Amino acid sequence: MELYNTLTRSIEPFALQDHSISLYVCGITPYDTTHLGHAFTYASADILVRYLEFRGLKVRYAQNVTDIDDDILRKAREVGEDWISLGNRWTVHYIRDMQDLNIRPPDYYTRATDMIPQIIDSVVALLDVGLAYHSGGSVYYDIGAWPEYGKLSLLPPEKMLPISTQRGNNPDDPHKRAPLDFVLWQAQAPGEPAWESPWGPGRPGWHIECSTIVTQQLGSTIDVHMGGDDLVFPHHESEIAQVEPVNQGNPYVRTWMHTAMVHHQGEKMSKSLGNLVMVRDLLAHFSPGGLRLYLAGYHYRQVWSYDEEALWRAEQLAHKLQVAVQAASGSGDPLDPSAEREVWVDAMEHDLDTPTSLLFLENLADAILTASRLNRNVAEAQNTLRELAQVYGVRLEGDPVEPGVIAGWDAHLRQFEQS
């Protein structure tokens, strides 16, 4: 199998480690409902997991919830709601959308606030090696102390600063040595939640939350780290800087995968622009299978725009697949699906090429319908069609409900309620 690695800007052989793959996907910041851009990232991750399992591999999958963050605190103030209640409410909405889309839960689903002691330990480790400094009750990462900062994004410092400022950095913070230095531990502001630390009360910075969850739950080097390509800088760049200098010369991540941005009305889909297409609204008019096929119709690295006509075509494909698996199987010569299965696998092996693989899936459905009309035996081909459709998370007539999709996500919710 080959995957595009953002770190090297090339498609590389994907080294399978001991038949077990560790995967981390950056999760939501729960202060609003799930939109199509979220669905694209998590559906793409789900296809990766399902395809690796199709290949006979075990996947250990972790995802976080950024439940303490400037955006959550701001939104809580705006709507007059407790920040914990706000985060829990939108986390439940997200989980229900994932269940309705038949997206499997991660094995580990962790809130940042459940990792405060471990996050503090991570900060201490960076202070101990001289990569961080304490100032004004906060702790900052000193990017000048690690020359490799920038190796993922390949951005020069003059381009880093405006991007990081747009995404939460405060370049004018008087306690920082340099404008690009980022917060590892943020001193408590009046009226904000805080946890005790060696530097006084405060809360974790955004970047240290993810890298700590990764290393605690999956290990100090993982196979795949995934997220939207708007996270390459500063988030993922900073994660590398927090782990690799204290990782005994080992890489933090072997393969970085980034999903492209979804556009609508000529702009990137985002809360700030108000041009969101909500998953819940789409599911009121389209089937989960149709929506999953629509998302799979775009390569995970392809920038694309919401297109309702294309969504209707995906809905028609979902219907065709349903008809094909229900077609009568006759007594004539059996239809051999092996050729279509082989070219389908070839497409998926090449950087998870879902748009091309869908063409072969539809070809198989067409062949089944034609063969059925000719009284041929299509039972084996129908089983293959089911097998391949499941990799996209599409349930066809007669497929059992995947218990993990409901029970697994619900178990994560119960864990949150009990903690």
Mean pLDDT of the chain: 96
Tell how far CA 15 is from the center of its chain: 20
Pick the more confident residue, 49 or 266.
Answer: 49
Report, as an integer, the average pLDDT of 161-186: 96
Tell me: pLDDT of 330 over 90.
Answer: yes
Looking at CATH, the fold of the domain delimited by 308-405 is given as Four Helix Bundle (Hemerythrin (Met), subunit A) (1.20.120)
Whole-number Cα distances in Å, 257 to 188, 229, 351, 391: 34, 8, 10, 18
Q: Which residues contact 132 (CB under 8 A, 6 or more apart)?
A: 123, 126, 139, 140, 141, 142, 184
Whole-number Cα distances in Å, 335 to 18, 265, 350, 367: 36, 45, 27, 8
| Distance (Å, whole) CA 268 – CA 275 | 8
Query: pLDDT tens-digit profile of 358-413?
Result: 999 999 999 999 999 999 999 999 999 999 999 999 999 888 888 889 999 999 98
Pick the more confident residue, 89 or 416.
Answer: 89
pLDDT given for residue 418 in this prediction:
74
Percent of the chain with pLDDT over 70: 99
Confidence of residue 15 (pLDDT cuts 50, 70, 90): confident
Asked if 298 contacts 304 with a C-beta cutoff of 8 angstroms, the reply is yes
Which one, of 365, 314, 322, lies nearest residue 39 by Cα?
314
Report, as an integer, the average pLDDT of 165-183: 96
Report, as an integer, the average pLDDT of 152-171: 95
Tell me: pLDDT of 267 over 90.
Answer: no
Tell me: pLDDT of 16 over 90.
Answer: no
Q: What are phi and psi of 51, to 5 degrees?
A: -70, -40
66-69: list long-range contacts, CB under 8 Å, 24+ apart: 66/27, 66/28, 66/29, 66/30, 66/112, 66/206, 66/209, 67/29, 67/30, 67/91, 67/111, 67/112, 67/113, 68/112, 68/113, 68/193, 68/203, 68/204, 69/29, 69/31, 69/206
Specify the DSSP class assigned to residue 188.
P
Query: pLDDT tens-digit profile of 122-139?
Result: 999 999 999 999 999 999
| Strand 108-111 with 58-65, pairing | parallel
Tell me: pLDDT of 17 over 70.
Answer: no
pLDDT given for residue 415 in this prediction:
83
Looking at CATH, the fold of the domain delimited by 2-264 is given as Rossmann fold (3.40.50)
Torsion of CA 242, 216, 227, 290, to 10 degrees: 180
Which segments of the chain belong to CATH 3.40.50.620?
Answer: 2-264
Structure tokens at 292: 């999953």
pLDDT given for residue 419 in this prediction:
65
| Strand 262-264 with 138-141, pairing | unpaired
Tell me: pLDDT of 195 over 90.
Answer: yes
Confidence of residue 163 (pLDDT cuts 50, 70, 90): very high
pLDDT given for residue 400 in this prediction:
82
Query: pLDDT tens-digit profile of 51-88?
Result: 999 999 999 999 999 999 999 999 999 999 999 999 99
Asked if 250 contacts 221 with a C-beta cutoff of 8 angstroms, the reply is yes
Structure tokens at 296: 């799979």
Q: Between 354-373 and 338-349, two packed helices, what is the crossing angle to 10 degrees?
A: 170
Query: pLDDT tens-digit profile of 283-311?
Result: 999 999 999 999 999 999 999 999 999 99
Number of alpha helices (DSSP H) and beta strands (DSSP E) in the chain: 15, 16
| Distance (Å, whole) CA 200 – CA 138 | 8
Which segments of the chain belong to CATH 1.20.120.640?
Answer: 308-405
Q: Indicate the SS3 state at residue 21.
A: strand
Is the pTM value of this prediction over 0.85? yes
Tell me: pLDDT of 346 over 70.
Answer: yes
Pick the more confident residue, 257 or 20.
Answer: 257
